[in-house]
Structure 1
Amino acid sequence: MQLNKNRLAVVGPADSVALISEVAQERGSQLKVFPIIYQDASEVPEILRRYDNEIDFWLFSGKVPYCRAVISGNTQKPLYYIPHTGSSLYRVLVQIANSEKLPINNISFDTFSKKEIEEAFADISPDIPRFYLLEYDGVISAGDVADYHYELWKSGKIEAAVTCFLSSYQKLRGLGVPAFRIWPTRDTIRTMLSVAISEVEASRFKGGQIAIQHIAIDGYEDFIRESASNYAAKRTEMRLYELLLNYTEAVKGSIILHGNGQYTIYSTRGVVEELTRQFTVMPILDDVTRELVVGVSGGIGFGSTAYAAEENAHIALGLAQRAGKGKWMVVLDDKTVCGPLNSATHLRYSLRADEPAFRELAAKLNVSATTVNRIFAACDKLDHATVNADDLAPYLGITPRSTRRLLASMVANGLAEVAGEEGFGKGRPRKLYNVNLDRLLPRP
């Protein structure tokens, strides 16, 4: 039986696509290659829209089209690009010196780093000659690149130009500039293909993991007691079941009704990950909030076995219910927690407490190792180490008062310091704390 091949789109200018596709055909038993040629990298977003449903992963000829793909947000598929390495640079310098008999001083470059160019020159000559370099981050147009080289040549500052862009190369040649094109080496292409195939296969394995979702009506006994009638309660449960049934269809799964406001949905990781946008949102939460008078919590668990997924789903539901009513949490196969979904205080942290440093620190602060992980995740989410108790508390899942006690304990143990105060209106000023993340958990 023939295994399904990974569908690879190779995107770039004609010459690069031809070379990359030729090398990719060496992995013909694993890949079905789709060459896609553009005239300009600005076409990348439209290419993604047009072909994304037919592709498993994308390989771009260089960093610029790759960056355009990332910025566009038009695909959730894996994205890769062929890097321009020092060997490619060395090859073009040899071409300039030996084949074209041009001096290898006063040359302009783009895309590479200064260090890469200096190391390539060092392989040819003990003295590094003068050169010019256009460095950039992210997206740049081929026209701007050509203009950079042309202005240097027109002013007499360079003898030759080296570019990674086909359009720039063609324009410069048309203007009479001695221009040279950087090509990726076959070894570089083979290496990148191996990396991409390995990662895609690993992702596909994870995507096939079992996903179990446990859902429960919050405070079910109170919900029944406070309902206008038994019929009213049953209608609410039936409407919830209908909403969950629609969601189950979306994740291509199956649902079991346990009674007492409890439900379980079985599916696979790949479709759940896509539908929840990498475990950040829960699509049905808005409908549940709008249509039902009762909170509904959920826990999503993943695992390579049904037992592991079931265990993680129970943990996730417990975390969700401790976080409050109407919360949903995710526990991945590696015990990473994501959630609450649809929340401004969404975090990603680990449940593991295997490292002795975690256990020691948790004991010193008289908190759980999970709380220690949440502190790290919260500071990362807030993007700064200066916090106050009111802002930090929602991320830790504890009250501001408990958070103040925790921060005071961290100060007493030299893990944080009072940075000042901020006042709002007539209330008592709130203390600001600098959390010392390096001292909080020293890294090896």
Structure 2
Amino acid sequence: MPRRPDSQNWRLVGAAHARERQTYEQVLKIADSVDAILFTGPLQYDLARESGELTVPATYVPVSGASLYSGIIRGLMAGTLDPSRVSIDSIGADEVEAAYADIKVSNQLVHTIEYLGAESVEKFIDFHRGLYESGATSAALTTVKSVAQRLVAAKVPVFRLVPPSNSIRDALNTAALLGAGSILGDSQIVMVVVQVSPAFRPLGNGPQNYRQMELILSLHRLLLSEVADLGVTLLQRDADTFVITATRGSLAQLISRLRADTFVDRMRAETGMVVDIGVGIGETPQAAEEHAYTALERSREGDAAKVYLVRPDGSNVALSGPSDGQVSSEPPLGSSKAEETLRRIIEVLQPQPGEPIVVDAEAVAEGLTVTPRSARRVLASLVDAGLAWQMPAVQSSRSGRPRQQFRLIV
């Protein structure tokens, strides 16, 4: 699913397959012609990763409780589904409970089983079939096409759960960000969670809730004004939470805009409301979001004037409050290793004394005898440690992606 950074247009490349186990074969056919891959669900993503290396950034359309509504409506219209007596796979019990609370239906006799990996599929079939044949359920709700097909063959009423359009749209935006980041030589994802502090949320209903809604709208407007020009995605996750999705190329600007001493103080001054911020980096959107929420909790536990960032390896660092916007004086974990890597690169390249040292992934890969992909990771770690900074991409005279250069800081 290519999308160039200077274009708002996407070119979608389809890769249909009859059986789920053919997923990786289709990936190999299109990998050289796309900048990112969007799988239709976590199963396809896991099957592809188990079969071999994914050579381009990839993500998948997430499974959530929002897909339940259309499945239940289709079952009711068919006249074969009692929503209070069903079996549901892939969706967590908490999300199912929230969805049933929305439609005012009891979920006491609703059975759920979570997706824990590709091996879960066989368990799904036995789970649904056993419950239906014992009379415990009226129908099965599944997210997996092959499960639905086998249940139909076993004469179990089944309805396929499909993600709603907004989930697909969000996943497309994330895939586009991954693709754009890959073009620039930077495929890691950054998630920033901005959430109203628990002490500033209203208790119960009443006029105070209307005031809270006004404050949330103010927060939304303020966030939009800060990030509108960065090419990131801003979504309201729930009543008190906003999530910003970006590539690592936007990290420095995002941190600069959302520093505790500027954005947080401005929010408090304009609305009297305090927000907490967590920043996460990961190889996938799911990992980045998990790290962002971990950073959010760390920010709440630590100094209120600081925003925390959690890296792909799980290490965290406090982003300082002072206006320099730099990382706190405590050295990041692994910085000594980064310094050793920098020394090795300089020894191999032997730059001219006094001249700026500018490298790209190809030069580092050749010098350290590693793959270009490993070289990009090495350069990313140097950027994290403050030992390099990313220069604007250079369009090569040859066709292909722009060349990403880095200035080494000695």
TM-score, normalising length: structure 2 = 0.48
TM-score, normalising length: structure 1 = 0.45
Of the two structures, which has the highest relative contact order with CA contacts closer than 8 Å and spacing of 6 or more?
Answer: 2
Select the structure of larger CA radius of gyration.
1
